[in-house]
Every structure is written in C-alpha cells, then in structure tokens.
Homo-oligomer: A and B are copies of this chain.
C-alpha cells in the first residue's frame, strides 16, 4: 500500500534543512537568489538550486507532452488562474499552442487509475531554468503535485515575478495524507469544503475524509431511506448530485474522498427517521448538545443489517473510493444494557461484553462493506481481537494502538496528535510523527503498515465563518510531516515558511486570515478606532482553552444553537503575537538580559498592554460580546504592568525582593487562570522573566 519512491537516477544534492541556500557548486547568483530561502511547504525530498530565475510574465504558457486528458487541461487552467491571482498578470486563455515555445512543458508518462488508489505514484521532477521549466511525472498525480511546487516557487523579485532556477525531485513519504472534516455537528456547505480541497491540493494532501453522520445530523441524501436526511438533518444535507460533483472536484485535485458513516454509536440522527434501528424505544430527536450519548444501533436485529446492506449498497455506489469508513467509536453501551432482548442475544451468542457485541456488529458490517467491494476503515475501537486483516485502523485515543495493530499485521492511519480542533500549536502537531512513540520500535516492514495520517477537524466549535482558521495554516505543517522526509523537523524553519504559505493559501479563497477582522468588528460594533484597536490588541494575545476544556468551562451549556460569535470563536487557535513575544523573552534571557534593544522592545509591548484596558473597558460597556472578556482585559493590563516592574528591576541591576516577587507572582498566577475560555499567552513567558529576575546573577545585567 505504501508508495515506493522511484529510484532517483539524478545525483542531486539532498538538503534536509528547510532553508535551502545556494549550493557553492553552482554558478554565481544574484543577491535575491542567494539570500531568499525557498518558501516551499511541504519541503520537497530533493532540491538543487542553480543559477538565475525564470521570469513570469503574460507570455507564460503551458504545453503537455506524453499522456494527456481533460483533467490535465483543467489543471492547467487552474494553475493559470492561481498564477494570475498570485501575480495579477493577465494570462491568455490556454489554447492548443506549440509545445516547443511553451514556458512550462509538462510530461506525464501514462494515465493514473480511474478511481484514485492508495499508494499510486505521486512523484515528479521539476526543473526550472531561466529559459523555461520542465515538469515530468509518471502520471497526472505527480503533475498535480509538481504544479503546486512551481506555484510556491513564484515570488516577486527585483525584476518582477520569477521562479528561481532549481531542480527538484520529489515524492511523498506516506501514501495516506488526509484531512477529516466533521460536517455533522455544524453543517459545512460545499463551497467551504471545496476551498479546503484547494488548500489540501496546495500542500499535497490526498485524502478527504468526510465525517457525514453523527448524533447531530445525517448529511447525505439517501434515495432509499429519505427520512435519514429529511428528518435527521434540519434540511442541511448534500444531494447525491452535489456529492458526485464534489468527488469529481476532489479527483481533479488528486484527492480521494473517503466517506464515514459512524455506527453503531454516534447515530442518533439516523433514528429520528428510523427509530427501529435503535436499541432503545425512542422516539428520537436530533441531538443539539455535544458529548457521548446513549443511542446505538441494535446489533441483534437482522433488520439492522438489512437496512445497512441497502444503505451501504447505495452509498458505495455514490462514493467510488476503495475505502469506506464505518466509524465505530465511543459506544457507551447503555441502550444495550437496558434492552432485555439484547441481553438475551449476548447470552445466547456467548458474547461476554459490550465490546464483544460491538465486535460482532463490526464484523457483520464489514462483511456487507466487503460484499460491496470496499475495504473498511474504522476508529481505534474497531480494532478488536479477531477483526479481519484488511481493516484499516485510524488511531485517535493514543499512540499505542497503531503500533500494536502494525505488530499484528494491520494497516493504520495516525490521527492521535493531529486533532486540529484541540488548539495545539503548529509546532506541537509538527513534532508528532506517525512512526514516533511506540511505533518507533517497529520493524521496517511493520512501519510500512502505517499508511500515514489524518488531521481531524471536529466541528463542535466551528462554522463556515471560522472553520478555515481552525484548519489553516496549521494543517500545512501536518501536511509537511506526512509528505517530507522524516528528517525535516526544524520548527523555526517550519514557522518561517508557514507564514508565507499562509498568505499564499489566501489566493485560493480560503478565509483563514480575512475572517478575523470581520469577527472582531461584529464584536466591536460601531466602536471608535481606539476601542477597536484595544479589542484587537487583546484578541491578538489570547488563545482559546486547549484540548477538551472548552466543554468543561463553557459559561452556558454548549449546543449547536449557540452563536459562534464570541471572542473565543474569533481569535486564531495559535497566537502569532504570543509566540513572537515568547521568543523575544527567550532571546532576552539567553543574553542574560543585557540586550537593551530587546529590553526596549519588550517594554514597548508591555506598556501598550498595561494601558490597553482603558479603551477596552469603554467598548465593553457597549457590546455584550466584548463585555464577556473584561476580566481578561484587566489581566492583560495587570500583566503588562507587572512585566514593566520586572524590567525595571532588571534595568536597576538588582534582583527583585521576595515580597515583590510574590506580589508579581500572584498577579501572574491570577492572569494564568483562563477566563471566558481564553488563555493569556504572555503569562508563561513573563513567569520565566520573573523567575530569572528573582535570582541573583541569573538576569541582572552586570556592569
């Protein structure tokens, strides 16, 4: 299953570092070329920079040699559209032009599979010279990947737009590089999903895992069982025509679409229309809250399997991919325990636990899926002794299951560590490798069973307005983890390139940057410029609470009816301003607090924070949405003032006295407590600064 990199015939210099500088072997280069790193993400497997650059102007053309197909024509049109967006250069509509004159000549040896398969060759070579570019690949998938690399190479230079001369040979490390989006807890319209497919293509991801059913909604039109969507979706579902269009949109981008129908749990929405599937007595209604709920399918009723057989027959026809996800997670067993008939069934079939009952269900469903020509994917919970070997385990609960599964000969996909709804930093996700942890000690053959990974966007707290910002740009770091050589791990390089890629992703129509000011404006209403600036300053330096604490700390019970218009919904999950401040403090401490320029930069930021609450509190009186974060605003100002006092002590050249330490420490401790579900990011760095300034000789500049 794992994609096997082609033997690479050319002797290229391979750089494991992310910032590729000019090789000393190549000819003299202009300043721009030698100074600028290549802002590529994911980092290609092999790069060799050479001399000069390919100028991009209105005469840019693309020709195909070798295998051609309409999908490649559309890829060319999309490439030119995207190049136009990046540069604003008006390119002519492509028409059949002579190959020899084209700026970019693309060659594909042969077609790819009609239905894209796991492990198909995605490798390519791209050669850019001052006079033109050549892109070669075994099949159209490699062409798609290479075109994205070329788009990322194009930048403004002293001489207009250009791509630096470079030779790249590239292929993915893992064959399964996915993004899962839960469209059930909050419905996500197709235009939003499509722009996210565009983003996936840009960072070379190749699996869209579509979490289509949940307690909160069944999102697919079934013609056989229309009450699924009619009663289970509030009217928010995709028609079969829309799904076919979406699958073909994804195929155009080299992306497989794996549908998930989660069962036997997470299925309340099915039961609204078909209560006879459930283990309880009903009636059921669409779930509005978040969490794990009791309703579960009745695994003892032959009609359940009859229903699923017909539904899966319909759905496997709609979704051409070879894989079919049956969920299987988080069944609490309460409905089973409460049902006498089910208890009797367990006894008569010698099923000793609900786990065994679920294994029985999984095997029945797997047989149905197999009958309809597909392989099964399931969450951790389907990995139960005796489950057939061709099932793929998607690990989410921990690192162990993937390793254990591989040891037993099962394929696996890692999602543990890639839950992008939990608010982790890009660096934290980036450090998670599918073959790290217990998987690190697998044999090479066992490691090959690990197909790759998938970032998961669960949608309790996202809607079409902010979902892009919860996926991007962090998802690009995960995409790099799954594509690039294992040795590409430097977070500083990752962040430097991520900033550039984040801007480039905007040209696709993704709204992960533009949404922010608009959401803040909704919160601010018709505020004064000073009030708006104060809100922005505060919002820039906080992050939502992490992991599952958002549920636990909710001011009102969270449901799908809550507007996602609060500050916690508006701020990015990772604060760039906060990260930069922490870096600044680390740098200042590393230099034993002697760098006065750094001290002054820190002081400037702290002073602004210390004064920020004045303007903010005036806004808070006018807007309930701003008012919610008044305590955080006061904390920010207190923290700013505390930070200034620490800097004062450092500047004065003597450690803080014990009572000062404890007073400042208690200010920081108070500010460290999340309020309105927000974390004040600078607190951690300021604690470091305080600690350093409290110890003689650690951070007191010596004369």
A87's partner among B32, B526, B565, B627 (CB-CB below 8 A) is B565
A334 at the interface (CB under 8 A from B): no
A158 touches B89 (CB 8 A): no
A574 contacts B by Cβ under 8 Å = no
* A276 nearest CB across to chain B (Å): 27
A155 at the interface (CB under 8 A from B): yes
User: Does any Cβ of B come within 8 Å of A36's Cβ?
Assistant: yes
A503 within 8 A of B: yes
How many residues does chain A have at the interface if contact means C-beta atoms less than 8 Å apart? 50
Q: Mark A482-510, 1 if CB is under 8 A from B, else 0.
A: 00000000000000000110010011000
Instruction: Establish whether residues B518 and A506, one from each chain, have CB atoms under 8 Å apart when the complex forms.
Output: yes
Note all chain B residues with C-beta closer than 8 A to A564: 88
Contacts of A560 in B (CB 8 A): 90
Determine how close the nearest CB of chain B comes to the CB of A627; give it in whole angstroms: 7
Contact with B along A10-46 (1 / 0, CB 8 A): 0000000000000000000000100010010000000
Q: Which residue of B lies closest to A57 (CB)?
A: B563
- Shortest distance in angstroms between A193's beta carbon and chain B's nearest beta carbon? 18
Q: A234 in the interface, Cβ–Cβ < 8 Å?
A: yes
Shortest A330–chain B CB gap in Å is: 25
- A32, A85, A507, A622: residue with the most chain B Cβ atoms closer than 10 Å: A622
CB atoms of A625 and B526 under 8 A apart: no
CB–CB B625/A525 < 8 A: no
- A262 an interface residue at 8 Å Cβ cutoff? no
Chain B nearest CB, measured from A520 CB (Å): 11
Please name all residues of chain B whose beta carbon is closer than 8 Å to the beta carbon of A156 when the two chains form the complex.
522-525, 622-625
Complex interface: chain B residues within 8 A of A513 (CB): 517
What residues on B are CB-neighbors of A627 within 8 Å?
158
In the bound complex, do residue A563 and residue B624 qualify as a contact, i.e. CB atoms below 8 Å apart? no
Given known pairs A159-B624, A160-B624, A234-B93, the reply for A58 and B561 (CB within 8 Å) is yes
Residues of B within 8 A of A522 (CB): 86-88, 156
Is A463 in contact with chain B by the CB < 8 A criterion? Answer: yes
Does A321 touch B at the CB level, under 8 Å?
A: no
On chain B, the residues within 8 Å of A623 by CB distance are 156-158
* B-chain residues with CB within 8 Å of residue A514 when the two chains form the complex: 514
Cβ contact within 8 Å between B463 and A88: yes
Task: List, in ascending order, chain B residues with CB within 8 A of A88's CB.
Answer: 463, 465, 519, 522, 563-565, 569
In the complex, what distance in Å separates the CA atom of A621 from the CA atom of B90? 25
Indicate if A521 sits at the interface (CB-CB under 8 A).
yes
Contact of A235 with B by CB under 8 A? yes
Name the distance in Å between A40's Cβ and chain B's nearest Cβ. 12
Which residue of chain B has its CB nearest to the CB of A497? B526
In this complex, what residue of B is CB-closest to A624?
Answer: B160
Q: Binary interface profile of A, 527-552, with partner B (CB < 8 Å = 1, else 0)?
A: 00000000000000000000000000
In the complex this chain forms, how many copies of it are found? 2
In the complex, which residues 67-124 of chain A have their Cβ closer than 8 Å to any Cβ of chain B? 85-90, 92-93
Q: What chain B residues lie within 8 Å of A158 (beta carbons)?
A: 621-624, 627
> Is A526 in contact with B500, judged by CB distance below 8 angstroms?
yes
CA distance A58 to B561 in the complex (A): 8
Q: Closest residue to A562 on the B side, CB-wise? A: B90
Considering the complex, give the chain B residue whose CB is closest to the CB of A186: B90
Measured between C-beta atoms, what is the minimum distance from A688 to chain B in Å? 23
Name the interface residues of A210-237: CB closer than 8 Å to any CB of B.
Answer: 234-235
CB-defined contacts of A621 to chain B, threshold 8 Å? 158
Q: Hey, what's the 0/1 contact readout for A137-172 against B, CB within 8 Å counting as 1?
A: 000000000000000000111111000000000000
Minimum C-beta distance from A216 to chain B (A) = 12
What is the bound-complex CA distance between A564 and B521, given in angstroms?
A: 29
Partner of A624, one of B157, B499, B507: B157
Separation in Å of the A544 CB from the closest CB of chain B?
Answer: 16
Q: Report B-chain residues with C-beta under 8 Å of the C-beta of A86.
A: 522
CB distance from A466 to the nearest CB of B (A): 9
In the complex, what residue of chain B is closest to A158 when comparing beta carbons? B624
> Bound state CA distance, A560 and B89, in angstroms?
11
Question: Beyond A234-B93, A503-B521, is A526–B561 a contact (Cβ under 8 Å)?
Answer: no
From B90, B517, B518, B563, A90 is in contact (CB under 8 Å) with: B563
**Measured between alpha carbons, how far is A518 from B512 in the docked complex, in Å?**
13
Residue of B nearest to A515 (CB): B514
Residues of B with C-beta under 8 A to A90: 463, 560-561, 563
Chain B's closest residue to A506 (CB) is B518
Shortest Cβ gap from A514 to chain B (Å) = 5
B residues less than 8 Å from A503 (CB atoms): 521
Contact of A155 (CB < 8 Å), options: B93, B506, B518, B525: B525
**Per-residue 0/1 for A612-625: is the Cβ within 8 Å of any B Cβ (1 yes, 0 no)?**
00000000011111
Residues of B within 8 A of A561 (CB): 58, 90
Closest CB in chain B relative to A127 CB, distance in Å = 23
Contact with B along A637-659 (1 / 0, CB 8 A): 00000000000000000000000
Q: How far is the CA of A85 from the CA of B563 in the complex (A)?
A: 11
Q: Interface centre among A93, A465, A499, A503, by most B CB within 10 Å?
A: A503
- Residues facing B in A239-274 (CB within 8 A) are none
A175, B417: Cα distance in complex, Å: 62
- Considering the complex, which residues of chain A in the window 585-641 have a beta carbon less than 8 Å from any beta carbon of chain B? 621-625, 627
CB distance from A374 to the nearest CB of B (A): 34
Contacts of A92 in B (CB 8 A): 234
Complex Cα spacing A684 to B88, Å? 33
Q: Which residue of B lies closest to A499 (CB)?
A: B526
CA distance A85 to B515 in the complex (A): 11
Distance of A504 Cα from B259 Cα, bound (Å): 38
Complex Cα–Cα for A92 and B93 (A):
43
The interface residues of chain B lying within 8 Å CB-to-CB of A500 are 526
Inter-chain CA distance A624–B87, complex, in Å, is: 12
Q: How far is the CB of A285 from chain B (nearest CB, A)?
A: 14
Contacts of A159 in B (CB 8 A): 624
In this complex, which of A156, A514, A519, A622 has the most chain B Cβ atoms within 10 angstroms of its Cβ?
A156
11 new A-B pairs (CB below 8 Å) besides A58-B561, A93-B234? A85-B465, A87-B565, A88-B463, A90-B560, A156-B622, A156-B625, A158-B622, A158-B623, A158-B624, A507-B518, A514-B514
Q: Which 6 A-B pairs have the closest CB atoms?
A: A88-B565, A156-B525, A88-B563, A156-B623, A89-B563, A514-B514
Sampled A-B contacts (15; CB under 8 Å): A32-B622, A86-B522, A88-B563, A88-B564, A90-B463, A90-B560, A90-B561, A92-B234, A93-B234, A156-B525, A156-B623, A156-B624, A156-B625, A160-B624, A513-B517
